[in-house]
Amino acid sequence: MVIPHAVRRLVPALAALAWMATASPVAQQPAAVVGQVDIGIPITTRRPSTPYPTRAVPSPALAPASERRHVVVYLREARPQPVAPMRVSMLQQNEHFIPRVAAVTVGSEVDFPNDDPIYHNVFSLSRAKNFNLGRYPRGATRSVRFDRPGIVKVFCDIHSHMSATVMVFDHPWFDVPDEDGRFELTGVPPGDQEITAWHERLGDTTALVHVQTGRPVTADFVLPVPEEGR
Amino acid sequence: MSQPPRLVVRTLAVTFVTLTRQTLFFSGALRALVSRSWQRWTEVTARHVVFRQCRTVTVAIILSVVFVVLTLDARDRVRAAETEKLRVAAQVFTMVETRRQQDQVAAIATLAENPTLKAALDTYVTESRLLGPRPDPQLRNTVAREAERLAALTAADVLAVIDTQGQVFASGGPLRDRWAPGQRIPLSIITEPTFQDVVALPGGAFRVSGAALALNDDRPIGALVEAVSLDANYAQELSNFSSAGVVIVVNDTVVARTVSEVVARDLAEAGATEAVRMLNGEEYAIGALFSLGPARIYTLSSIDAAARAATRDAMMALGTIAFGAFVLAALGSFWLARTLTDPIDRLAGEMEVMTAAHDLRPTLRPTGTSRELDALTDAFNELMRGLVAAEAESRAAYLGAIRALAAALDARDPYTAGHSERVSALSVLMGRQLEIGDSELDVLRLGGLLHDIGKIGLSDEVLRKPGALTSEEFEQIKRHPALEARILRQVPFLAPHLPIVELHHERPDGRGYPFGLRGEDIPWPARIVHVADAFDAMTSARAYRPARAPAEAVAELRRYSGTQFDSACVEALLTALPLATTAPEPALQELLGRQLV
């Protein structure tokens, strides 16, 4: 994730200052941020309209039951940390990427197994990771390793309506809410922290929380952000 | 010596001059009317002498009225035709255009499914949310290259990808510079699945067809737009299609036109509320071809120009007809003249033949083409018949007189009675043996009859003297041919017989009289009559000797053949003699029965 250098330098400095000021061993303990993400509007999923009859492939199923799964909650302006690589699978099924949104650590590998009886392709034009896995049939799996933090949009060049997002973090403080919208960021450094909830289409919102030692902090989000005087 | 012109030429000339003068006058008057020049009209008409006659004035007035009616009628028709033409063109264009727009929308919607464009735009939108609105140049290049490729495929002027803010992300196509990245496109409907509109950009007006670029949900991430420049080329294309002028107006400003600037501006100010309108002082038929957003496309065509063309065409047709009539009239007059002069020519030819042959007996055939000519021919034939009869009569009278004279002369001497008739008959027989022509035989017959007519001038003493003649008396005798010639010269009708009577005493050896001509210098008839005269003289009794037997006379002739007598004539006599003894003397009636010229 790209963060302005000035801010990146400022945050550790501030953290050090806070640490020196409090000088309390309790205050140095990280704490969890938990919360709830809600989607304020109903979202339907629809194929783009076309003047031609639909293709012979069966209509794609609706989006996953909960749009809450399409949200990534993460700690903003976090200092880069050494993180353990993960392995995540993004299935291609019914002309959809499932899940549509994934969040991984730098160095993680994402598998793209094809579960449809047709060819799929996986490619990306994003700055953080520019790749093209080519076309491959059902049962085949190809993988991509994400080495830079950032946001990567993934598409299929055969089925232009298919898209997915992979967010790559260089710190561990991120989470994808469960079906009910609950999330938990563990071990967040104490102090004033910015927590952002990002939805692939509905925008993002950021909440300021004060993390204190040993006590979970709650942060709730509603997306999209209600429009005010816009 | 110059001959007078032929009748046909004269007739033709008269017809032609009349026709040409009338044609020149009318064409001049028509030209004056067409150019609407009153001055020229008066000049032309004043120059034309015939114009002063009431008849021509009437014709000219009728002509003018016809022309005015023709012009007005042509104008009405042209106005209706032009209006209808534009209406039909607009109808057809609307049909074609509707279909084309459907196709275009379909095409653009299909193109909007392009995964690269979608992926790139979505990537851009997503990244710009997190990183600010500075797109990855590589991403933009990818889209621009794709747009360029699609523009080439669709032959669009511009193919652009626009984000949801209405800003150009990337563009391709020949006019992509007018759709530079970052430029704001004043389109309010880019969120529709498909849309059509006209936009006015600094670089010109464009007709756009677009389709939303969307991923797997209902929120578009931008739009793909195909733009056609509403420029002079487009106007020209439409103009060719509708075969009329085209003016493209966007926001009441003329952006392209195929007509003059003034007319286009007038039209833009006035709008097309009426089908016919005055623009820049000329009448125009106007049709609204197309109307979308702020754009209006008009077709217009000048009724004045079309009416002028139509009138010119009508005048050309009129001129062609006039020329055709002129040619027909010329041919007709030529034919008429020929029908008149041909029979006359034929009659003249026949008369010429009759005159050359000195034969008045053939009658002229009726022409069968005109009663007047036939009456003339009949009268001529009647006249000729009378003439021939009169001539025959007078000739018969003449011959009778000559014959009577010859008989009277022969009767002066009993010994020479019937001599002239016999010589005449014998000469004709000999002439037949010598195969001379019929007309020569006639000359021979009469010449034989007349050959001794000069003896009228000899005294009876010399003529009837029983003994030998003195040289003086013989000289007298020798003068009778000259005397005869002198008598006959008085009668032109007897001129052909002159050589016979004058030269029938000439001898082949040149010892004859009166001139002593030799051999071939003596005409045939004279030689024949000489031999016949000698034979008859020898076989007739004389006062001083009895008649000799024919055989004796023949022997005598043979002896002197070639010297005193022409040998061919002697031979002819020998052949003819048996016929002469058996054949009866030629009757006077037979002689007179012949009609000679």
Model confidence pLDDT, tens digit, residues B355-405: 888 777 778 887 777 788 888 888 888 988 898 899 888 878 877 887 787
CATH fold for the domain made of A82-170 = Immunoglobulin-like (2.60.40)
Q: CB distance from B30 to chain A under 8 Å?
A: no
Structure tokens at B561: 């053949």
What is the distance, to the nearest Å, from the Cα of residue B45 to the centroid of all Cα atoms in its chain? 31
Distance separating alpha carbons of residues B173 and B155, to the nearest angstrom? 8
Nearest CA in chain A to B221: A201
CB–CB of A194/A76 below 8 Å? yes
Contact B216 A63 (CB under 8 A): yes
Amino acid identity, residue B263? Answer: V
CATH fold for the domain made of B390-593 = Hypothetical protein af1432 (1.10.3210)
Does residue A58 have a cis bond before it (omega within 30 degrees)? Answer: no
| Model confidence at B588: pLDDT above 60 | no
Predicted confidence band of residue A169 (pLDDT cuts 50, 70, 90): very high
Helix, strand, coil percent values for chain A (each to nearest 5): 10, 45, 45
Greater confidence (A165 vs B484) lies with A165
| Model confidence at B593: pLDDT above 80 | no
Smallest Cβ–Cβ distance between B106 and the set A51, A160, A163 belongs to A51
Task: Give the mean pLDDT of B194-202.
Answer: 86
| Model confidence at A182: pLDDT above 70 | yes
Look at residue A63 in the predicted model and tell me its pLDDT: 39
DSSP string, A157-214: SSSTT-EEEEEEESSS-EE---TT-EEEEEEEPSEEEEEEEEETTTEEEEEEEEEBTT
- ipTM, two decimals: 0.75
Segment holding B529, helix H or strand E: helix B524-538
Q: CB distance from A162 to chain B under 8 Å?
A: yes
Sheet of strand A120-125, all strands in order from the earlier edge strand to the far edge:
A101-105, A163-169, A150-155, A120-125, A130-136
To test the contact with chain B by mutation, choose from A155, A166, A174, A223 the residue with the greatest count of B C-beta atoms within 10 A, namely A155
Give the mean pLDDT of chain B. 81
pLDDT digits (tens, 9 = 90+) for A96-145: 898 889 999 999 999 999 999 999 999 999 999 999 999 999 999 999 99
Q: CB distance from A125 to chain B under 8 Å?
A: yes
Q: Half-sphere exposure (CA, 13 Å, Cβ side) for B356?
A: 6
Distance to chain B for A136, nearest Cα, Å: 17
CATH fold for the domain made of A1-40+71-78+178-230 = Immunoglobulin-like (2.60.40)
Q: Domain ranges in chain A?
A: 1-40+71-78+178-230, 82-170
pLDDT-wise least confident of A191-200, B55-64, B220-229: B55-64
CB–CB of B174/B157 below 8 Å? yes
* Beta bridge partner(s), residue A184: A34
pLDDT digits (tens, 9 = 90+) for B531-553: 888 888 888 877 777 888 888 88
Predicted confidence band of residue A168 (pLDDT cuts 50, 70, 90): very high
Counting residues of chain B whose pLDDT is more than 90, the rounded percentage is 4
Predicted confidence band of residue B100 (pLDDT cuts 50, 70, 90): confident
| Model confidence at B192: pLDDT above 90 | no
| Model confidence at A76: pLDDT above 80 | yes
| Model confidence at B64: pLDDT above 70 | yes
CATH superfamily of B112-229: PAS domain (3.30.450.20)
Distance separating alpha carbons of residues A150 and A167, to the nearest angstrom? 6
Q: Domain ranges in chain B?
A: 112-229, 390-593
Predicted confidence band of residue B22 (pLDDT cuts 50, 70, 90): confident
Task: Give the mean pLDDT of B430-455.
Answer: 82
pLDDT-wise least confident of A66-70, B107-111, B310-314, B589-593: B589-593
Look at residue B34 in the predicted model and tell me its pLDDT: 66
Task: Give the mean pLDDT of B88-98.
Answer: 85
Look at residue A146 in the predicted model and tell me its pLDDT: 95
Distance separating alpha carbons of residues B436 and B430, to the nearest angstrom? 9
Task: Give the mean pLDDT of B176-201.
Answer: 84
Q: Are strands A174-175 and A71-75 parallel, antiparallel or unpaired?
A: antiparallel
Smallest Cβ–Cβ distance between B119 and the set A63, A151, A153 belongs to A153
Cα-based angle A155, A161, A162 (whole degrees, multiple of 5): 40
Greater confidence (B87 vs B36) lies with B87
Look at residue B110 in the predicted model and tell me its pLDDT: 87
Task: Give the mean pLDDT of B17-43.
Answer: 71
| Model confidence at B56: pLDDT above 80 | no
Task: Give the mean pLDDT of B259-265.
Answer: 86
Look at residue A90 in the predicted model and tell me its pLDDT: 94
